[in-house]
A and B are shown apart, each in its own frame.
Chain A
Amino acid sequence: MSKPLKQIHLAAHFPGVNNTTVWSDPRAGSHIEFSSFAHFARTAERAKFDFLFLAEGLRLREQGGKIYDLDVVGRPDTFTVLAALAAVTEHLGLTGTINSTFNEPYEVARQFASLDHLSGGRSAWNVVTSWDAFTGENFRRGGFLPQTERYSRAKEFLATANELFDSWHGDEIVADQATGVFLRDAKAGSFVHTGQHFDIHGQFNVPRSPQGRPVIFQAGDSEEGREFAASSADAIFSRYATLTDGQAFYTDVKNRLAKYGRRHDQLLILPAASFALADTDAEAEELAREVRRQQVSGATAIKHLEFVWNRDLSSYDPEGPLPDIDPDVSDDHISKGRAQVRMYRDPLATAREWRELAAANNWSIRDLVINTGTRQTFVGSPATIARTINDYVQADASDGFILVPHITPGGLDDFADKVVPLLQEQGVFRTEYEGPTLRHHLGLAHPDAVDDRVAS
Chain B
Amino acid sequence: MSATPASPLHLAVALDGTGWHPASWREQVARPRDLFTAGYWADLVAEAERGLLDFVTFEDGLGLQSSNYGEPDGRTDQVRGRLDAVLTASRIAPLTRHIGLVPTVIATHTEPFHISKAIATLDYVSTGRAGLRVQISARPHEADHFGRRTFPPISLEELRTPAGQERLTDLFDEAADHVEVVRRLWDSWEDDAEIRDVATGRFVDRDKLHYIDFEGRHFSVKGPSITPRPPQGQPLVTALAHQSVPYRLVARQADVGYVTPQDAGDARAIVAEIRAEQEAAGRAGELVHVFGDLVVFLDDEQAAAEDRRARLDALAGEPYTSDARVFAGTPAQLADLLEEFAAEGLTGFRLRPAVAGHDLPAVTRGLVPELQRRGLFRTAYEADTLRGLLGLARPANRYAAA
Measured CB to CB, the residues of A under 8 A from B are 23-24, 32-34, 38, 57-60, 66-67, 69-77, 79-81, 83-84, 86-88, 102-104, 106-107, 110-111, 114-115, 117-120, 137-140, 142, 168, 173, 175, 177, 180-189, 198-203, 205-207, 209, 297-300
Contact = CB atoms under 8 A, between A and B. Distances in A.
Most buried by A among B28, B90, B141, B315: B90
A182 B201 contact: no
A80 B118 contact: yes
Contacts of B121: 76-77, 80-81
A110 B65 CA distance: 15
Contacts of B147: 104, 198-200
A206 B145 CA distance: 13
Contacts of A187: 74
Interface string B203-227: 1111001000000001111111011
B109 A182 contact: no
Nearest to B86: A80
A81 B26 contact: no
A205 B77 contact: no
Interface stretch (B31-39, B254-262, B296-304, B366-374): B31-39
Nearest to A57: B226
A142 B95 CA distance: 38
A106 B111 CA distance: 13
A67 B61 CA distance: 36
A244 to B, nearest CB: 35
A60 B209 contact: yes
16 contacts: A34-B124, A34-B127, A69-B202, A70-B203, A77-B120, A103-B111, A104-B148, A107-B109, A115-B84, A118-B88, A119-B38, A139-B219, A140-B219, A182-B25, A205-B61, A207-B81
Given A67-B209, A102-B111, A104-B146, A60 B203 contact: no
Given A182-B77, A189-B64, A74 B87 contact: no
B84 A66 contact: no
Interface in B46-88: 61-65, 72, 74-84, 86-88
Contacts of B205: 69
B106 to A, nearest CB: 9
A353 to B, nearest CB: 27
A111 B84 contact: yes
Contacts of B94: 34, 38, 84, 87-88
Interface in B3-19: none
B204 A69 contact: yes
Q: Tell me whether chain A's interface is mostly helix, strand or loop, or mixed.
A: loop
B189 interface: yes
B227 A76 contact: yes
Given A106-B62, A180-B26, A75 B226 contact: yes
B84 A24 contact: no
Given A34-B93, A206-B82, 8 more contacts: A74-B204, A76-B124, A79-B87, A84-B125, A102-B111, A120-B38, A203-B72, A205-B81
Nearest to A58: B226
Nearest to A98: B114
Nearest to B188: A60
Nearest to B199: A24
A183 B80 contact: yes
Contacts of B83: 114, 117-118, 206
Contacts of A110: 62, 84
Contact of B80 (A69, A74, A182, A297): A182
Most buried by A among B76, B81, B221: B81
A324 B84 CA distance: 56
B38 A86 contact: yes
Nearest to B61: A205
Interface residues of B, number: 80
Nearest to A203: B64
Closest 6 CB pairs of A and B: A114-B84, A137-B222, A80-B121, A57-B226, A76-B121, A83-B90
A86 B144 CA distance: 32
Contacts of A72: 203
A300 B201 contact: yes
Interface string B82-104: 11101110111111000000000
Contacts of A73: 194, 203-204, 209
A225 to B, nearest CB: 24
Contacts of A186: 74-76
Contact of A175 (B32, B92, B222): B32
B155 interface: no
B311 interface: no
Contacts of B194: 73-74
Nearest to A180: B77
A77 B227 contact: yes
Contacts of A117: 36-38, 83
Contacts of A201: 144-145
A205 B32 contact: no
Contact of A87 (B38, B76, B222): B38
Contacts of A140: 111, 218-219
B113 interface: yes
B124 A33 contact: yes
Nearest to B316: A180
Contact of B203 (A69, A86, A118, A185): A69
A87 B93 contact: yes
Contact of A80 (B90, B145, B206): B90
Contacts of B141: 202-203
Given A173-B33, A173-B81, A205 B64 contact: yes
A114 B145 contact: no
Interface string B16-30: 000000010111101
Nearest to B87: A83
B198 interface: yes
A106 B106 CA distance: 13
